[in-house]
């Protein structure tokens, strides 16, 4: 049985998993041409593949996506219509992304970029462009209450924030969330929140869901944080609002186009922090991903039902 790894693994990881699953032939490559050759007789793929690679696969039965989002796989119509099983690693990244989200927020509320620049300039008497803000008592609005949304909400509660949320589905309300509504409560959430965190997956239903009209409902003193996928928020409208002072600040770990082009106006937008889609990265995350994958591989070899199954037609 051949398993093709198309994400970057180190030699120690490969050596360890080969010992654990001696029945499986592991092949790892990130080269597009090699992927097209190797995938032809692969039964399992770890990572995300292109439509061209999927069409070259003759024996493929299961794709274990290396991340939680499957927006690169979902547009492959032939895959969505096939019997190939797709699973993801939802839950593995939640804690680290939540920590990163609050890193962005606290950087904005405590004017840390200006302090960092003052340190580089050896300037103790820095004059901040705007007053510092405390999180206690602020309302945190969660757009999406999946694993990542719950992890952020839990930390917001620990900061003594009032947490409200919406989700596309009926989900159980955690004790640390004050209110939970379906997605039709978006406008009300935007009006009431001091901080809005976007953690919903990108699907046809969520694409562009925070357009200029929706962003215009937010308080001028509020902050927007986007850590799930680009394309959910109208970035042009967001940049315009920040330039006009109609939002206090925003943090983007994801953008509609990645990598973000060097000439994008987002780079120079005031009160906007950009990180290069790295919020999920940590040794803790990597360890969790491997736990999920190895458990699924064990189940696959034993003929058992896999965990973290994905419906590509829904996009999650």
What is the band of 80 on the pLDDT scale with cuts at 50, 70, 90?
Answer: very high
Q: Check pLDDT > 90 for residue 315.
A: no
CATH of domain 94-274: 3.40.50.720
Annotation says 81 is catalytic: no
Q: What is the dihedral of CA 24, 288, 195, 208, to 10 degrees?
A: 0
The pLDDT of 291-311, averaged and rounded, is 97
Domain 2-91+282-302, what fold? Rossmann fold (3.40.50)
Does 7 or 300 have the greater pLDDT score?
Answer: 300
d(CA 78, CA 42) in angstroms, rounded, equals 17
Annotation says 299 is catalytic: no
For residue 11, the model assigns a pLDDT of 87
HSE, CB side, 13 Å, CA atoms: give it for residue 118.
12
List 277, 299, 304, 305, catalytic entry: 277
d(CA 144, CA 168) in angstroms, rounded, equals 7
Domain boundary assignment for the chain: 2-91+282-302, 94-274
pLDDT, mean over the chain = 96
List 236, 258, 298, 304, catalytic entry: 258
List 100, 192, 229, 235, catalytic entry: 229
Q: Check pLDDT > 90 for residue 228.
A: yes
pTM above 0.75, yes or no: yes
The pLDDT of 93-109, averaged and rounded, is 98
The pLDDT of 19-41, averaged and rounded, is 96
Q: Check pLDDT > 90 for residue 127.
A: yes
d(CA 90, CA 112) in angstroms, rounded, equals 31
254-265 residues labelled b (16+ CB within 10 A) or e (exposed): bbbeeebeeebe
For residue 313, the model assigns a pLDDT of 87
For residue 316, the model assigns a pLDDT of 87
Annotation says 93 is catalytic: no
C-alpha torsion sign, points 115, 198, 202, 36: positive
Q: Check pLDDT > 90 for residue 221.
A: yes
Structure confidence by residue, pLDDT tens digits, 237-277: 999 999 999 999 999 999 999 999 999 999 999 999 999 99
Structure confidence by residue, pLDDT tens digits, 171-190: 999 999 999 999 999 999 99
Structure confidence by residue, pLDDT tens digits, 203-215: 889 999 999 999 9
Tell me if residue 232 falls in helix, strand or coil: coil
Same topology between domain 2-91+282-302 and domain 94-274: yes
d(CA 169, CA 175) in angstroms, rounded, equals 18
């Amino acid at each position: 049985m051949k398993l093709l790894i198309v994400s970057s693994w180190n030699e120690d990881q490969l050596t360890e998993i080969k010992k654990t699953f001696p029945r499986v032939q592991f092949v790892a490559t990130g080269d597009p041409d090699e992927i097209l050759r190797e995938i032809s007789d692969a039964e399992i793929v770890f990572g995300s593949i292109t439509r061209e690679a999927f069409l070259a696969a003759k024996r493929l039965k299961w794709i274990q996506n290396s991340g939680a989002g499957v927006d690169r796989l979902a547009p492959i119509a032939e895959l969505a219509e096939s019997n190939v099983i797709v699973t993801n690693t939802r839950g593995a990244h939640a804690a680290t992304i939540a920590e990163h989200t609050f890193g962005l927020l606290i950087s904005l509320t405590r004017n840390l970029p200006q302090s960092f620049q003052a340190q580089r300039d050896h300037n103790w008497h820095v004059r901040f462009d705007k007053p510092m803000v405390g999180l206690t008592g602020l309302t945190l609005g969660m757009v999406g209450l999946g694993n990542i949304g719950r992890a952020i909400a839990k930390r917001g509660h620990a900061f003594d924030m009032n947490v409200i949320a919406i989700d596309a589905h009926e989900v159980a309300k955690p004790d640390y969330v004050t209110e939970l509504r379906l997605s039709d409560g978006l406008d009300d959430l935007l009006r009431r929140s001091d901080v809005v965190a976007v953690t919903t997956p990108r699907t046809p239903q969520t694409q562009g869901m925070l357009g200029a009209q929706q962003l215009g409902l937010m308080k001028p003193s509020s902050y927007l944080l986007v850590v799930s996928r680009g394309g959910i928020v109208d970035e042009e409208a967001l940049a315009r609002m920040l330039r006009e002072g109609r939002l206090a600040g925003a943090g983007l770990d994801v953008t509609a186009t990645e990598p973000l082009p060097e000439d994008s106006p987002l780079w120079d937008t005031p009160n906007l922090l950009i990180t290069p889609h790295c919020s999920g990265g940590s040794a803790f995350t990597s360890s969790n991903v491997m736990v999920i994958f190895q458990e699924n591989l064990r189940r696959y070899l034993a003929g058992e039902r896999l965990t973290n199954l994905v419906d590509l037609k829904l996009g999650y």
